[in-house]
Amino acid sequence: MQFIFKVMITLTRVSRRDLLGLDFEGTLKYFRVTLPKRFRSQEASQELIATAVTAKVSSKKLARLAKDWALKKAEADALSSPLRALQRESWQLRDQCSRLEKENETLADEVLTSKTNMQKQIEKLEDMVESLKIELFAAQKELVEKQEECDFMEKETRQVKNMMRKLLEQHKSERQQQAAIIDEYKTITSNLSKRLDSLENSTERICRLPSAVVETLMQCSGECRAALDSYLPGWDQTSDNGLASQDGALDGKGKEVNEEVTSLRRRVS
């Protein structure tokens, strides 16, 4: 009995620091779970026994403790029925503690599994975020390139518009010039037509005059003809030659007019 008491004293001394920080339920769990695990190995149990053997307990103290034990036992015997009820309640509490410990372990496993799954999901989301960042960078780069291309196209469009505007203005100017040339051509043509009409009228009058004079002279008497022959030999042939020269002059004027019209047409075309 004394050795068993020494072992109990040694266990209490060794676990004193841990027991002082625990409540009642923690103390029960410590004696039921932690303490047996601590001295499960052979080296630890041998060290415990060696410490218990060398433990010193005075006889006076043992006597006092025995007396106290006897008194407590007597009181326990007197209160045997309540003690049994407390024991049953203690057993129930132990069962509840065991069940709660199992539930706690199960919850801990679930929490660990949940943390692992969450970590995997976080890593997956981080990979997705990284991929989206890469895609966003590529999209921004493409957007910049498209913007530069749009700016270039706008610049080209402005240049084309300016070129078309210049061409339209040039075409308009050319059309105005052509219209002016056409008006000038019409004016010149009208003037030339008037000149041709005037020349034709003049030529007709000139042609008619020598013919009338010749016919009159031809109808004259022999004295008139003799006087003309003595004064202007071959006057009848000269009259015909004069008419021919006048016709040649008129033909030359007509050619000049035609050449002017042709030149004007070339300018218009």
Q: Once rounded to an integer, what is the mean pLDDT over residues 171-193? A: 81
Average pLDDT score over residue span 95-123 = 90
Any domain includes 84: no
Instruction: Please state at what angle helix 2-14 crosses helix 42-54, rounded to 10 degrees.
Output: 110
217, pLDDT greater than 60: no
Please say which residue of 78, 106, 124 terminates a domain: 78
Tokens in use for 42?
Answer: 């052979």
Q: Are 100 and 25 in contact (CB under 8 A)?
A: no
Task: Determine the average pLDDT of the residues in 187-211.
Answer: 68
Q: Look at residue 92 and tell me whether its pLDDT is greater than 60.
A: yes
Rounded to an integer, the average pLDDT of 166-183 is: 85
Residue 95, pLDDT score: 87
- pLDDT higher for 10 or 217? 10
Could you tell me what percent of the chain has a pLDDT over 70?
70
Tell me if 221 is assigned to some domain: yes
Per the structure, how many domains does the chain have?
2
Boundary residue ending a domain (30, 56, 78): 78
Residue at 189 is within a domain? yes
Question: pLDDT band for position 241 (50/70/90)?
Answer: very low
Using left for φ > 0, alpha for ψ between -120 and 50, and beta otherwise, residue 234 falls in left
Stretch 20-27: mean pLDDT, rounded? 84
Determine contact, residues 68/16, Cβ cutoff 8 Å: no
Q: How much is the pLDDT for 25?
A: 85
Answer yes or no: is 211 within a domain: yes
Choice among 81-90, 167-176, 190-199 with the minimum mean pLDDT? 81-90
- pLDDT band for 242, please (50, 70, 90 cuts): very low
Q: Is residue 259 part of a domain?
A: yes
pLDDT at 240: 46
The reply to whether 115 falls in a domain is no
Domain extent at residue 242: 180-268
Rounded to 5 degrees, φ, ψ at 77 are: -65, -35
Report yes or no on 226 lying in a domain.
Answer: yes
- Which two tokens mark 96? 């509840």
Is residue 168 in a domain?
A: no
pLDDT value for 229: 60
Of 61, 78, 95, which one is at a domain's C-terminal end? Answer: 78
Average pLDDT (12-40) is: 83
Average pLDDT, the chain: 76
State pTM to two decimals.
0.29
* One-character DSSP codes across 113-168: HHHHHHHHHHHHHHHHHHHHHHHHHHHHHHHHHHHHHHHHHHHHHHHHHHHHHHHH
- CATH number of residue 51's parent domain: 1.10.472.80
